[in-house]
Structure 1
Amino acid sequence: MVKEVSQTELQVFELSFGAGALSGVYDKIEEGWPLQACKAALENGINLFDTSPYYGRSEYILGDALEQLKEEWPRNSYYIATKCGRYGYTTKDCDYSAARTRESVQESCKRMKTSYLDIVYCHDVEFVPFEDVVGPGGALEALFELKQQGVVKNVGCSGYPLPVLLKIAEHQHQKGQPLDAVLSYCHYTLQNTSLADFAPRFRAAGVKYVFNASPLGMALFRPAGPPDWHPAHSELRAAAHKCAVYAQEQGLSIAELASTFSFSGRDQFGLNTTVIGLEKPEEVEKAIAAWKLVKAREAGTAQVPEVETATLAKINEILAPYKNYSWKSPQDKEIA
């Protein structure tokens, strides 16, 4: 009999399953991968799946996979996080109205075959005016109403610019209705560690759960490099490629180096979980292995090899001109 997760607080495993990768935006998804990946994740202790209506067919694919696993892994054995507000590529594809938010939550529940959602985030809050998020008739108002009804267990915001997320968190705290969760991405990586500075400020604003996503910088730090649509400028992409080549020359993987670095954030600044994009079971196993290595090093049962220390020093040198650089969001091409 599998263990039920707590329904009164989020007791999330240190790694979470980023189901945005199931949309195929990084690689072509082979048939069977989603089911096998979800099964491997659950068997290894991962208990939160993160998705969004914006991620193509991710909610459908995730819902189908979890449905097939329900005999062994019932709904009360894991958490589902999804989002609302952003439904397409440009700012005109965002709808933060209370009515659309309620409709979106219903659609997500239907796609994932569940009567409730453990977290719903306002997605990419920087794409709309501040008042659309926090004002009367806006998305947060609807989400907190749905929380009272038990349809949504936790309310949060996600986005790229940390100052925007903090402004919303502080506003909600001042009005006596603090956010439960904040999901930041690409801000605790080899290149950008700004989330470590912002995390205490989120906590001070009453945020219970601080999550980091995209430890590889949306594929910036993987051997194959990022997809063409990646927002990093050419100089940063070139630097990341140089890091990957150098790591390979030392017999190391840039993706594994990036993963182990980001996973250490839990103890560095009280991070609740790291959401990493996973497409197939092999990626789940690699992520778990990297996490176990971090835990062993923290426990003193494993040492960091000298070659790794030296390689990271060189990587930091290569990335130094771009340290804590954050690209513009939304990008010019995303503004309509």
Structure 2
Amino acid sequence: MNKFPSRPLPGTGLRLSTLGLGAAALAGLYDAVDAPTAAATLRAAWDQGLRFIDTAPFYGYTRSENRVGAFLSDRCREDYVLSTKVGRLMEPDDSILPGADGWADPLPFRPVYDYSYRGVMQSFEGSLRRLGVQRIDILLVHDIGRLTHGARHELHWHALTHGGGFRALQELRDQGLVRAIGLGVNEWEIAQEAIAATPLDCVLLAGRYTLLEQGALPFLDRCARAGVGVIVGGPFNSGLLAGQAKYDYSSAPPDITARARALAAVCAEFDVPLEAAALNFPLAHPAVVSVLAGMRSPAQVLANAGWMRQPLPGEVWQALRDRGLIHPEAPLPLGGVKEGG
């Protein structure tokens, strides 16, 4: 199977497949995934040409990194791009129960936020051990932001900016142990503050620039001008654009559900699967390097790969824009008006 097309991550020498595998689902997000199924899913993704895999210590309380590392152990290190995250230390804890933080069967570790220099370095070293590699291609600060941390945001932001967290990332990059540094967040506003505070290579932004919502468009435009690559996570908005009732990791409110149904109705007029439109739409923006989709079975891999490869008529994008379902300034995929912005 030929590889997926790839795009360069500016200034890093890395190229990311335009469709990447988000490995949270493989760690049992909401529902358990057994080890053989996880391995088969990773193998199916590899066979389909996906060469960008994103994981994190938090996913399944280290389960995701362990599974990804086991799969990659006999692959050539130059054949894939691997990203993981810092910001939480995983401390042993035998009292962890099923369902913690949404993980169906988490391993016996408790996540503790730590964005300091020491915390970043300790998290990085733990990821190297679990993944069985000597370097991480992309290292991301995980879940920093006001919506995530509320009253404790300033404490964590200070650790990152004045407590050495960003400095640790820069040292790892300077030493060649990391090729690129950035943020992995659900909030574009904090990403905008971060790229103003320190030189970052990329932002993994989940759920905020999708077919469903484009409120982050000005931020992406800024990234394009600054040469900061954007990886779009959550292209289905936690599953809402793939036939599920979740949005932002919880039940979808009625107005959001109605918008998703309107998007689906327009796509149906042109015989376009909503999922195919959702995967292809973000890639039209010049800042976007890759789209990450969570997959928990070989069948989901095949479905996502097929949707991403499906040619889509330009008329569907025009219709979505004409009916007010896409931001009037958002770049549209090939075949649509205002191509590439």
Which TM-score bucket, shorter chain as reference? 0.7 to 0.9
Aligned CA distance change for structure 1 residues 199 and 94 (closer, same or farther; 3 Å): same
Q: Deviations over 1:126-151 (max 9, x none)?
A: 0332322222x332111111222222
Contact 2:25-2:295 within 8 A present in 1 as well: yes
TM-score normalised by structure 1 residue count: 0.75
Residues 261-276 of structure 1: pairs in structure 2 closer than 5 A: 261-262=281-282, 264-265=283-284, 268-276=285-293
Residue equivalent to 2:302? 285
Residue equivalent to 1:256? 276
Find the aligned partners of 1:51 and 1:60 in 2 and give their Cα distance: 10
1:11 to 3, 7, 15: 15
1:96 to 115, 126, 131: 115
Aligned CA distance change for structure 1 residues 235 and 105 (closer, same or farther; 3 Å): same
1:227 is displaced (CA, Å) by 7.5
Q: Which has the higher strand share?
A: 2
Find the aligned partners of 1:93 and 1:41 in 2 and give their Cα distance: 31
1:170 is displaced (CA, Å) by 1.4
State the secondary structure of the residue aligned to 1:125.
coil
Residue equivalent to 2:183? 157
Aligned CA distance change for structure 1 residues 290 and 167 (closer, same or farther; 3 Å): same
Residues 1-336 of structure 1: pairs in structure 2 closer than 5 A: 9-56=13-60, 57-67=63-73, 70=74, 73-86=75-88, 93-126=112-145, 127=149, 128-129=153-154, 130-135=157-162, 137-172=163-198, 178-207=199-228, 209-226=229-246, 229-230=249-250, 232-237=252-257, 239-240=259-260, 253-262=273-282, 264-265=283-284, 268-294=285-311, 297=312, 303=313, 312=320
1:187 is displaced (CA, Å) by 1.7
Contact 1:34-1:65 within 8 A present in 2 as well: no
Question: Is there any run of 5+ residues in structure 1 with no aligned partner, and where?
Answer: 173-177, 298-302, 325-336
1:310 is displaced (CA, Å) by 9.7
Contact 1:34-1:61 within 8 A present in 2 as well: yes
Residue equivalent to 2:94? none
29-38 vs 97-106, greater mean Cα deviation: 29-38
TM-score normalised by structure 2 residue count: 0.74
Residue equivalent to 1:332? none
1:162 is displaced (CA, Å) by 1.1
**Aligned-pair identity (%):** 27
1:188 is displaced (CA, Å) by 2.0
- Which letter maps to 1:44? Q
Q: Deviations over 1:95-142 (max 9, x none)?
A: 11111111100111111111110011011120332322222x332111
1:200 is displaced (CA, Å) by 2.6
Find the aligned partners of 2:317 and 2:139 in 1 and give their Cα distance: 39
Q: Which has the higher helix share?
A: 1
Contact 1:120-1:143 within 8 A present in 2 as well: yes
Find the aligned partners of 2:81 and 2:273 in 1 and give their Cα distance: 31
1:86 is displaced (CA, Å) by 3.5
1:246 is displaced (CA, Å) by 8.7
Runs of 4+ with deviation above 4 angstroms: 5-8, 241-253, 308-314
1:228 is displaced (CA, Å) by 9.5
State the secondary structure of the residue aligned to 2:203.
strand
Alignment: residue pair count = 294
Aligned CA distance change for structure 1 residues 287 and 103 (closer, same or farther; 3 Å): same
Find the aligned partners of 2:248 and 2:122 in 1 and give their Cα distance: 33
1:225 is displaced (CA, Å) by 2.2
Find the aligned partners of 2:232 and 2:138 in 1 and give their Cα distance: 15
- Which letter maps to 1:134? T
- Superposition CA RMSD, Å: 3.5
1:243 is displaced (CA, Å) by 5.8
